[in-house]
Amino acid sequence: MRRSHFLTVAVSWLTLAFLYLPLVGVAVFSVNDARRGLVWKGFTLKWYLKLFRNEWILEAAWNTLLLAVISTFVATVLGTILAIAMDRFPWRRPTRNFLDTILYIPVVIPDIILAASLVVVFGLLRLFSSFFEPGLPNMIVGHVTFQIAFVALVVRSRLGAIGREMEEAARDLFASNWYMFRKVMLPLLMPGIMAGAMLALTLSLDDFVISFFMAGPDSQTLPLFIFAAVRRGVTPQIHALSTLIMLITVVLVILAERFTRR
Amino acid sequence: MKRADTTIAWYGALTTRHRLMKLGGGLLIPGMLWLMFFLVIPGLVLVAVSFLTRGAYGELEWTFTLENYRRLAGFSLFGWTADYLIILWRSLVVAFVTTLVSVVVSYPLCFFIAARPERSRYLWLTLVIIPFWTNMVIRTYAWFLILSPEMPFARLAALLGFIPAGAPLYPNAFAVYLGMVSMFLPFVTLPLYASVERLDWSLVEAAQDLYASRTRVFTQAILPQTLPGLSVGIILTFIPAMGMFVVPDLLGGAKYMLVGNLIQQQFGPSRDWPFGAAISMALMVLTMVGLQIYRRKGKEIEVL
């Protein structure tokens, strides 16, 4: 085993401390029995209990979950089909380049530009349909738009990795397109699709900017709720909410690792 | 002229070119239609809107103008100011410094993790992955707590006379940099680690055997091998850092605005879409220029 230089070790520990100090700070003060200020007044779980009686927070949590699940589902289906269409057919080079460019746009532009362009277009479409009023449907559309690209990129790399021999063999044995897709391609592709969906889900849960631009009065999500609350000052309840979300993130990360490491 | 539709064998499928392309096109349609409707067309509309005029109540007036870009360059009724240009320049500097610091710190961290025994390595890596996936708003909020007046850091700063006693360590430039680096550091570390883990150490040892200086070992044996991961990390950091809005909004306030805040203002409280669209275009161009410079410089580094 290679030994690390003293400086490497020191910098690494400092960096990890730098990353975790704020997070641990929030967790510690979430169980502090003091309404105001940051003086330690003893251990309590009352802020957590209060969370579950706060209707605003419960509604925001429900919206966050709804938004993440629906948009991830739509984006996973669309992205998977798109990846197959792009990878398994003999497109000419210009067509292929064009498709590639479109797919990479959401990856290489700052998300605030995507949000801004959707605000403008939805603002114009609102003149024709009330579907485009700010709210959950618009947020779902925004999330799906950037998720599709990430799902398609992940699934496409899996398509490249599994090769085409199995599909060819299935076809040689007179499998129809649909049968081949269901019984050969889909099972082989499943880990890639799950990884793509997992990425899409975390991107949705992580997003603030798109939601912030698209949200209406009844479609608060947890990040939006926290953002608004921070401007009114830090409270122990928000510490507790943040800690809870961090814990859920940790569980999700570990689950995702287990899932993709098989 | 229609091509003769001959039968072809396409990976075991006996089909015609026409039928194959029809199936492919059919599969392409749902996803591409979505991206066209909600990504490409809105993007083009945004470009168009940046040349329109804002009406008295924030509505769009369909008269062509370059006024939004003139305003961004600082020309107004009251003469010339550099306010907007300063914000653009500052965003570029903040994104650059954030990326640079993240890279400088990520190298030792990656080598440290790669040197752990195989069993615990995964655990160390998870320590970097967790902040990577923790919501940005929560991580920014966490800095609020650490920099608040009751915490030792603000007290120390007050003692040294940087801030008045009892004041928090935000909003200011320092807080923005703290927030930005902690936000994006994992974005560099994770892809870079993928490259460091696969590093061919025999090349490094060969360089050392040949009495290469530490700098040359790094630039000629380590850097070229880790360049793929480094590039992904730089792109993952620089682009979102340019458009960052949460961190400067909470930790920078009005004192240290970045272009993300400026855009949000136009689409939020000011309701000036054409000007907001023009700023978005400027952000887009700056991002592309930044990446282009990196590509140039990146090539130079390779030949070094």
Q: Is residue B37 included in any domain, yes or no?
A: no
pLDDT at B3: 56
The CA-CA-CA angle for residues B173, B179, B185, to 5°, reads: 125
**Closest among A227, A155, A244, A166 to A194, alpha carbons compared:** A155
The CA-CA-CA angle for residues B282, A98, B233, to 5°, reads: 55
State the CATH number of the domain containing residue B216. 1.10.3720.10
Tell me the pLDDT tens digit for each residue of B94-124. 999 999 999 999 999 999 999 888 888 888 9
Contacts of A202 in chain B (CB under 8 A): 133
The pair phi, psi for residue B68, each rounded to 5°, is -60, -40
Query: Pick from B21, B185, B240: which is nearest to A19 by CB?
Result: B185
3-state secondary structure A34-51: CCCCCCCCCECCHHHHHH
pLDDT at A218: 84
Residue ranges covered by each domain of chain A: 22-53+232-262, 62-231
Is B75 at the interface with chain A, CB within 8 A?
Answer: no
**Closest among B168, B131, B137 to A238, alpha carbons compared:** B137
Chain B residue nearest residue A176, CA to CA: B13
Which of A171-185, A230-244, B24-38 is most confident? B24-38
Strand partners, A175: none
Q: Is residue B6 included in any domain, yes or no?
A: no
Query: Token digits for B180?
Result: 């930005």
Domain count, chain B: 1
The residue ranges of DSSP E strands in chain A, in sequence order, are: none
pTM to 2 decimals? 0.88
ipTM given for this complex = 0.88
- What span, in angstroms and rounded, lies between the C-alpha atoms of A116 and A123? 11
CA distance A110 to chain B (A): 5
Chain A residue nearest residue B272, CA to CA: A120
CA dihedral A60, A66, A68, A72 (to 10 degrees): -170
pLDDT at B298: 63
The identity of residue A150, as a single letter, is F
**Closest among A222, A256, A8, A197 to B136, alpha carbons compared:** A222
Q: Are the C-beta atoms of residues B106 and A12 closer than 8 Å to each other?
A: no
Query: B172: domain range?
Result: 78-303
B304 — pLDDT class (breaks 50, 70, 90): very low
Q: Which residues contact B57 (CB under 8 A, 6 or more apart)?
A: none
Q: What is the largest CA-CA distance in chain A?
A: 74
Tell me the pLDDT tens digit for each residue of A135-181. 899 999 999 999 999 999 999 988 988 888 888 888 888 888 889 88
CA distance B129 to chain A (A): 7
pLDDT at B303: 42
pLDDT at B299: 61
Q: Are the C-beta atoms of residues B60 and B274 closer than 8 Å to each other?
A: yes
**Domain A62-231 part of CATH 3.40.50.300:** no
Q: Is residue B62 included in any domain, yes or no?
A: no
Q: Is residue B174 included in any domain, yes or no?
A: yes
User: Angle A6-29/B118-133 helices, nearest 10 degrees?
Assistant: 50
> Rounded to a whole number, what is the distance in angstroms from the first to the last CA of chain A?
26
Q: Are the C-beta atoms of residues B177 and B258 closer than 8 Å to each other?
A: no
